[in-house]
């Protein structure tokens, strides 16, 4: 099973109903349990309204667990997800907002960075939102990177996806110095093409070792600033789900000064985003 328990951070906002329908669809797709998390005071009125909203989404009463939380929204949602064994947390955000303010202020950004489980951020939730058809996965040569590819590949097969792309970004240290010393941009371009070919070969070996069967996929090596290149590729490719392995919790000193690769992606989501955590 890809994910055993789906959590949804739900509000009474206009996005509430579309997100409920999306969570229910994914729950059925994965044959998993569903935990609905609402941050706010539990009153007779709010409880009735919440049940009406859930019923309108077509979710049977016996198929979900409803958790009420109080406190600062992002911390309350993260704690509720952890306490209730959620391994995939779903939240919503508007695609056009560069800092994702729509979903309870900065809560979506906090969930993406600090949730202990995997997180699925849905951009522009709508009642007509169908399955994900074009997957792009950012590859990292690590155990978490393998997990991200395997989980997203199984997800894509269940969705009967039309496209599955593995992306590996790479930079070449000292390239600017090389250009200056050689004085030839033509030689540098040849070197870049050679490095790209080598990266694609390594990516091909990595994918082959994962024994991905049942859905056609292809590999892409992108040269340039990590985070930027992947985001631009995903956007230009028209992908509807971008999968990334989570960065380490404890960032190094230089990571705190300079933006981490994922920060470029979070600053303006190219499409719905799935962050895989162990």
- The string of pLDDT tens digits covering residues 211-238 is 999 999 999 998 877 778 888 899 999 9
Q: What whole-number distance in Å separates Cα of residue 258 and Cα of residue 33?
A: 39
Residues 114 and 138 in one domain: no
pLDDT at position 27: 95
In terms of C-beta distances under 8 Å and separation of at least 24 residues, what long-range contacts does 16-21 make, across chains too? 16/53, 17/53, 17/56, 17/57, 17/127, 18/92, 18/125, 18/126, 18/127, 18/129, 19/90, 19/91, 19/92, 19/122, 19/125, 20/53, 20/54, 20/57, 20/59, 21/57, 21/58, 21/127, 21/129
How many independent structural domains does the chain possess?
A: 2
Of 77, 98, 123, the last residue of a domain is: 123
Q: What whole-number distance in Å separates Cα of residue 250 and Cα of residue 273?
A: 22
Q: For residues 239 and 231, is the Cβ–Cβ distance under 8 A?
A: no
The residue with greater pLDDT, 185 or 30, is: 30
Of 67, 92, 123, the last residue of a domain is: 123
pLDDT band at 112 (very low <50, low <70, confident <90, very high): confident
Residues 139 and 232 in one domain: yes
Note whether residue 217 is domain-resident.
Answer: yes
The residue with greater pLDDT, 93 or 95, is: 93
> In Å, what is the CA distance from 271 to each residue of 5, 17, 134, 228, 230?
23, 20, 10, 14, 12
Residues 197 and 226 in one domain: yes
Q: What whole-number distance in Å separates Cα of residue 39 and Cα of residue 41?
A: 7
The residue with greater pLDDT, 103 or 200, is: 200
Helix (H, G, I), strand (E, B) or coil at 90: strand
pLDDT at position 183: 55
Residues 119 and 213 in one domain: no
Helix axes 143-159, 16-30, angle to 10 degrees: 100
Helix (H, G, I), strand (E, B) or coil at 270: coil
Q: For residues 2 and 155, is the Cβ–Cβ distance under 8 A?
A: yes
The residue with greater pLDDT, 170 or 188, is: 170
pLDDT band at 240 (very low <50, low <70, confident <90, very high): very high
Q: For a pLDDT cut of 90, what percent of the chain falls above it?
A: 58
Residues 141 and 92 in one domain: no
Helix (H, G, I), strand (E, B) or coil at 26: helix
Dihedral angle, C-alpha 73, 264, 7, 33, nearest 10 °:
-170
Residues 100 and 195 in one domain: no
Query: 118-123 and 272-276 as β-strands: parallel, antiparallel, unpaired?
Result: antiparallel
Residue-wise burial string across 173-201, b where 16 or more C-beta atoms lie within 10 A, e elsewhere: eeeeeeeeeeeeeeebeebeeebbeebbe
Residues 140 and 62 in one domain: no
Note whether residue 129 is domain-resident.
Answer: no
pLDDT band at 166 (very low <50, low <70, confident <90, very high): very high
Which residues pair with residue 75 across a beta bridge?
none
The residue with greater pLDDT, 144 or 248, is: 144
The CATH number covering residue 72 comes to: 3.40.50.620
Which residues pair with residue 223 across a beta bridge?
170
Structure tokens at 126: 């709508």
Asked whether residue 182 carries a pLDDT value surpassing 60, the answer given is no
pLDDT at position 98: 42
CA geometry: angle at 137 spanning 139 and 89, to 5°?
A: 110
Q: What are phi and psi of 146, to 5 degrees?
A: -65, -45
Asked whether residue 106 carries a pLDDT value surpassing 90, the answer given is no
Residues 95 and 197 in one domain: no
Residues 112 and 146 in one domain: no
The residue with greater pLDDT, 268 or 263, is: 268
Note whether residue 163 is domain-resident.
Answer: yes
Asked whether residue 181 carries a pLDDT value surpassing 90, the answer given is no
Q: For a pLDDT cut of 70, what percent of the chain falls above it?
A: 81
Asked whether residue 96 carries a pLDDT value surpassing 80, the answer given is no
Prediction pTM value: 0.86
Q: Which residue range is the domain that position 118 belongs to?
A: 5-123
pLDDT at position 259: 45
pLDDT band at 148 (very low <50, low <70, confident <90, very high): very high
Of 102, 123, 144, the last residue of a domain is: 123
Mean pLDDT confidence for 178-185: 54
Average pLDDT over the chain, rounded to an integer: 84
Q: What whole-number distance in Å separates Cα of residue 112 and Cα of residue 89?
A: 9
């Amino acid at each position: 099973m890809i994910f055993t328990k789906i959590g949804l951070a739900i509000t009474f906002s206009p996005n509430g109903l579309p997100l409920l329908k999306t969570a229910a669809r994914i729950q059925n797709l994965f044959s998993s349990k569903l935990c609905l998390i609402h941050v706010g005071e539990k009153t007779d009125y709010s409880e009735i309204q919440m049940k009406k909203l859930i019923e309108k989404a077509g979710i049977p009463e016996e198929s979900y667990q409803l958790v009420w939380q109080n406190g600062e929204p992002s911390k309350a949602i993260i704690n509720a997800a952890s306490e209730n064994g959620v391994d995939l947390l779903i939240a919503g955000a508007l695609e056009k907002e560069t800092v994702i303010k729509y979903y309870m202020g900065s809560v979506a950004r906090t969930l993406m960075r600090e949730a202990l489980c995997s997180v699925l951020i849905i951009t522009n939730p709508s009642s007509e939102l169908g399955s994900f058809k074009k997957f792009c996965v950012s590859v990292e040569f690590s155990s978490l990177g393998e997990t991200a590819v395997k989980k997203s590949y199984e997800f894509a097969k269940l969705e009967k996806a039309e496209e599955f792309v593995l992306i590996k970004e790479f930079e070449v240290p000292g390239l600017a110095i090389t250009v200056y010393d050689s004085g030839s941009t033509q030689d540098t371009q040849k070197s870049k093409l050679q490095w790209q070919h080598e990266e694609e070969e390594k990516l091909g070996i990595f994918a082959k070792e994962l024994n991905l069967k049942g859905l056609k996929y292809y590999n892409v090596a992108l040269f340039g600033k990590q985070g930027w290149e992947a985001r631009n590729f995903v956007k230009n490719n028209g992908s509807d789900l971008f999968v990334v392995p989570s960065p380490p919790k404890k960032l190094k000193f230089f990571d705190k000064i300079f933006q981490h690769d994922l920060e470029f992606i979070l600053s303006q989501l190219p499409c719905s985003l799935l962050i895989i955590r162990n």
